Structure 1
Amino acid sequence: MLAEQIMFCNRLLLTRNDRLPFDIISAVAKAIHPLNPSVDVLAVSWGNIELSTLLAILDYNFDRVELLISELEALVGNMDTPCNNEELIWRVIRDDRPFHPQRLWDTCHRFMGMGVYRSKGFLAPRRDDLALLWNQSAGSISLALIGYWKAGVLEHTDNNLTREERSALQRHIDTASGRFGDRCCQLTIIGNATEVNDFTHALSLCLLTEEEIQWWMSGGVFPDPWPQKVTRLS
């Protein structure tokens, strides 16, 4: 399927350029470019693409695609598609309890195997005013600050909100179902059935216990091995 997508595209983007050395990116580009030699290959860092680059893309060449389909039709008709017995499933963790950062770190290093293809979502104590996005694809994991929990904003006295804005936020928080206002944990895991089930179970054990929640709310701080520095993208 990936080869077909490359053959029919009109611009080929290589993501994760920020995570791989230039020689690997260059080798990948040279290896796949023969599948569609008429298009440009563009390496993208952090998903950033210049608007001028997008505007410079030519209109899709349907005539070339029609010719390609006719050339491949006989070949595709004679191909024996291998049967894939792998069961692909997804699981969702929804909980108002935050993750214990150290247990989450240990679990991701021990239980997230090659069969966990995709997972997304995040919340960690000690950063309870921040809405953090957990984004995992295959072996690539990233954390991104996507905003602030409304409950966290109201806890800061220097938020420069008007009385009306504070009231609107408070009404939203009051309607939330969790114990910590709008703060919540929602994580979706996709992949091989066995590994996803094992990873989901391991993640559920990373959620704070009631005793840990009481300690945390009284000012306790958990060990946090996750990155502390923030990279700002222009």
Structure 2
Amino acid sequence: ETEEYGISSRVFRARRPLHPQRFWDLITGPAFKGVIRSKGFLWLATRPDWAGVWSSAGAVSSLQPGGSWLASAPEEDWPEELDPDEIDAIWEEPWGDRRQELVVIGARLADDLLDRLEACCLTDDEMDAGPETWLALSDPFPAWRIAVDHDAEPTGEDAAM
């Protein structure tokens, strides 16, 4: 039935951060036309310590903070119930568990949608510029309100608060 109506899905996975402006331009442009539903978690270059939880249904979309990446916290602060084998399965140096995992379902999706998503990731030159430079990239997404443990040492975005 799904083939009859042109419904298909794509899974995008990457180990580089997304350039927020390029991702914004993609999801608000014609390439995302036909997307019925998408969801997953994202690593935005401008928000290095926090996993973004992405969800869209029709014309409604949301990108919210989904908690900190394990790689952004000292190991002694990780939840005790974490399975070491599961961590090993998702861990990749030098960025740890930071990654993109996005499922897109739609009608007559663009054949090159995965390539377009890949093009939203930082280029080699942008990666080489380093995380401090990434913080200055254009980011059109609304700011995240994140509760901060004031007893902890500030890092990344928290240091700017």
Q: Under a length normalisation based on structure 2, what TM-score does the superposition of the two structures give? A: 0.72
1:140 is aligned to: 60
CA separation in 2, counterparts of 1:98 and 1:149?
13
1:91 is aligned to: 10
Deviations along 1:94-146, one digit per CA (max 9) or x if unpaired, are 11111111111111111211x11111122201211111101011111001222
Q: 1:128 to 1:173 in 2, by over 3 A?
A: farther
Deviations along 1:28-79, one digit per CA (max 9) or x if unpaired, are xxxxxxxxxxxxxxxxxxxxxxxxxxxxxxxxxxxxxxxxxxxxxxxxxxxx
Q: 1:173 to 1:222 in 2, by over 3 A?
A: farther
Contact kept? 2:38, 2:55, Cα under 8 Å: yes
The list of structure 1 runs, each at least 4 consecutive aligned residues, that deviate by more than 2 angstroms after superposition, is 171-175, 195-201, 229-232
CA separation in 1, counterparts of 2:24 and 2:90?
32
2:28 is aligned to: 109
Structure 1 counterpart of 2:43, one-letter code: L
| Alignment gaps of 5+ in structure 2 | 148-161
1:119-130 to structure 2, matched below 5 A, reads: 119-121=38-40, 122-130=42-50
Contact kept? 2:19, 2:121, Cα under 8 Å: yes
Q: 1:138 to 1:200 in 2, by over 3 A?
A: farther
More strand by share: 2
1:204 is aligned to: 118
Q: 1:141 to 1:231 in 2, by over 3 A?
A: farther
Query: Which residue among 183, 196, 204 is the counterpart of 2:98?
Result: 183
1:47-62 to structure 2, matched below 5 A, reads: none
Contact kept? 1:91, 1:196, Cα under 8 Å: no
Shift of 1:208: 0.9
Deviations along 1:158-209, one digit per CA (max 9) or x if unpaired, are xx849xx7xx98x94697135310111111111123x243433321210111
Structure 2 counterpart of 1:199, one-letter code: L
Alignment coverage as a number of residue pairs: 138
